[in-house]
Structures are given as C-alpha cells and as structure tokens.
Amino acid sequence: MGMAHGVLFVLYVLLVLQVSILHSWSWGKALLALIVSFLPFGTFWAEKKLFQE
C-alpha cells in the first residue's frame, strides 16, 4: 500500500507542475497546490478553492 501511495503522490506533483505551466499559474499558486498535498484532506480544499476558475 505504501508504494501505491508514493506513486500517486509523485503523479500528483508532476500533474500540478504540468497544469501550472499549461495554465500559467503564478509560483505562489503552484506552491500552494503542492503544500496542501501534505495536509490531510488538503487536496479536497484545493479542488474546491484553488483549482476552480
């Protein structure tokens, strides 16, 4: 289970970087998207507040 979690985390980081380049996010927004990945349920907050345009 740990390896699956690690692989999904790496995929999340790579996708955040790809989307931040594609949508010309500021460094702050991209960094915030990476920081919330360390918080429990932080990605749910990010989906609702950060990723919705």
Number of alpha helices (DSSP H) and beta strands (DSSP E) in the chain: 3, 0
Place of tokens 């360390």: 38
**In this predicted model, what pLDDT tens digit does every residue of 12-48 receive, in sequence order?**
999 999 999 999 999 999 999 999 989 989 888 888 8
In this prediction the pTM is 0.77
Alpha-carbon span 39 to 43, nearest angstrom:
8
